[in-house]
Amino acid sequence: MSADPYNQKVRAYFADTAHCGDVEDGAVGYFEDQGMRVRLSAEVEDGRITRLAFRAWACPHVIAAAESVCREFEGRPVAELEQFASAQIMQDLAVPVEKTGRILVLEDSVRSLGHAIRDRLSTKQD
Amino acid sequence: MPNYPDLIYLDFAATTPLDPDVALCMQRVQSQAYFNPSSNHIGGRRSASVVQNAAEKLAALLNTDPASFVWTSGATEANNLAIVGAAKQREHRGRHLVTMRTEHKAVVDVFRHLEKQGFEVTWLQPEPDGRLPVDRFEAALRDDTQLASIMHINNETGTVQDIAKLGAICKDRGVLFHVDAAQSAGKVLVDLADLPVDLLSLTAHKFYGPKGIGALYVKTGTPLLAMMFGGGQQRRLRPGTLAVDLIAGLGEAARIAAVRHEDDFKRLSAQKSQLLAGIRDIDGLHVNGALDDAYPGILNVGVEDIEGESLLLALEPLCVATGSACNSQSQEPSYVLRALGRSDWQAQSAIRFSFGRTTSTDDVERAITIYRNAVEKLRNLAPERVA
């Protein structure tokens, strides 16, 4: 017997990937591992993320998680990106434990985006 | 037949809906012939006559003797009985067996079980289109080969094996020949008066009959050892009280299949062509298995650089099978497609469309649109690879 592997949130985010795309000239975080690849790009103003977009070649849980990250972090301070931890998303999207590694790839992408933004900001200040 | 407007069912190779006439037949039997067919009274004789009538209908479909069937719970049990029963019966003569890498799990796992018991199995590799060359099969047979088992129609790709030629070789060499006909019985012509087959497995739910009932054809004089014990039913080969209503349902499904299968075949051919014409221009699309002379009820396609699990979700409300299906509980890429030379990534994007009696032209048209949109959506989502 097969139960539905996706909860309502996964289905909703997967169906409506409003943040799919690229922020032109934005900072980029990219990671490829576990048979998947995720790219995040962002626009920042006054230390806050004004636009966040993603692209992903991944399973529905990761695509939904990437959409969720974009919705959650738009408007928030950049510094929060680097503190991102996947545990809450794992719980909200009921990600099966065997997919933990894939969600960690997303986590790496988010953190790498945080680093990329910080590098850009420090270059501008220099 | 039931109609669910919220889904488009294109997974008839997994199972088919119960034909309304089959359901009526079973209801009649449940209320009027619920007796134990082994009972020595008028009720028992009534049920026994229902079973006999079903055997005659199945025999008419397959052009053989009604006494040559053993009722089972389905094709899996029939495969087990045929393969283990024949191998064990003849093991004093030799312990070499032959089969293919692309067989259904219900055959593969039985041979794996026998390997653990000391039998030697030759696993034949098909061509990339799924067909088994006759000369490769013949070369695999040895003096100590006792049994060969080759499926008629592959459940994942629809590729058809030349069981007439393979069976003739077995007959010449004194090797028992078993055919898993789960995907062919009731769908294409299977003439057992003409085909050199010793054992043939089938199941009712693949041709609009009920789930839980199948049969093993055992050619007269074919030696088999029983695997179950507990009564004298069915020549002691498969004891237990017969499920009269299910057997009646199988028989009625066989009667209907005999009338319909030629028309069904033509309609399925048109639908397969319609689907293929609607998607074949998609960049990176490939067909898994043979297209020429293949069973028209199945089309298996893959597309480059698409994640399979996301594809399946994006295809909803289409009910189709993935490259990890046959045993869809697993996310492992299909071993059948791997045996045809597909990579793990190609196999995991594979989708099996399978058509049936209730499939409409409109269903196929909607499937084309949904598939194209799903591939486009996932390609739009995917980032460029960074070296």
Q: What is the ipTM of this complex?
A: 0.93
Tell me the chain A residues in contact with residue B386 when contact means C-beta distances shorter than 8 Å.
Answer: 30, 32, 37, 39
Q: Rounded to the nearest 5°, which phi and psi values hold at B319?
A: -100, 105
Q: Which of B235, B220, B217, B256 is nearest to B59 (CA)?
A: B217
- Which of A1, A57, A113 to mutate to probe the B interface, most B CBs <10 Å? A57
Stretch (H or E) spanning B259: helix B244-279
- Which of A30, A59, A98, A108 to mutate to probe the B interface, most B CBs <10 Å? A59
Q: Which of A94, A48, A89 is nearest to A69 (CA)?
A: A89
Tell me the chain B residues in contact with residue A11 when contact means C-beta distances shorter than 8 Å.
Answer: 313
Q: What amino acid positions of B are annotated as catalytic residues? A: 326
Instruction: Name the residue type at position B181.
Output: A
- Which of B311, B381, B384 to mutate to probe the A interface, most A CBs <10 Å? B381
pTM (2 d.p.): 0.92
pLDDT of residue B39: 95
Distances (CA, A) of A98 to A95, A101, B198: 8, 7, 45
Q: CB–CB of B250/B54 below 8 Å?
A: yes
B307, B377, B383: residue with CB nearest A55 = B383
Residue range B321-339, pLDDT digits in tens: 986 543 344 567 899 999 9
Cβ-defined contact of A37 to B382 (cutoff 8 Å): yes
Residue range B102-155, pLDDT digits in tens: 999 999 999 999 999 999 999 999 999 999 999 999 999 999 999 999 999 999
Work out the number of other CB atoms within 10 angstroms of the CB of residue B265.
15
Cβ-defined contact of A57 to B386 (cutoff 8 Å): no
Q: CB–CB of B275/B368 below 8 Å?
A: yes
A11, A17, A30: residue with CB nearest B383 = A30
| Percent of chain B surpassing pLDDT 90 | 90
Cβ-defined contact of B381 to A63 (cutoff 8 Å): yes
pLDDT of residue B327: 39
Pairing of strands B285-287, B298-303: antiparallel
**Does the CB of A122 have a partner CB in chain B at under 8 Å?**
no
Q: CB–CB of B101/B335 below 8 Å?
A: yes
A107 CB-near residues (< 8 Å, 6+ apart)? A84, A85, A86
Q: How do the pLDDT tens digits run along chain B, 387 residues long?
A: 555 568 999 999 999 999 999 999 999 999 999 999 999 999 999 999 999 999 999 999 999 999 999 999 999 999 999 999 999 999 999 999 999 999 999 999 999 999 999 999 999 999 999 999 999 999 999 999 999 999 999 999 999 999 999 999 999 999 999 999 999 999 999 999 999 999 999 999 999 999 999 999 999 999 999 998 888 889 889 999 999 999 999 999 999 999 999 999 999 999 999 999 999 999 999 999 999 999 999 999 999 989 999 999 999 999 999 865 433 445 678 999 999 999 988 898 999 999 999 999 999 999 999 999 999 999 999 998 776
Q: How close is the nearest chain B Cα to the Cα of A79, in Å?
A: 25
Burial label, B380 (beta-carbon count in 10 A; 0-12, 13-18, 19+):
exposed
Q: Rounded to the nearest 5°, which phi and psi values hold at B71?
A: -75, 135
B329, B377, B383: residue with CB nearest A39 = B383
Tell me the chain A residues in contact with residue B310 when contact means C-beta distances shorter than 8 Å.
Answer: 14, 58-60, 63
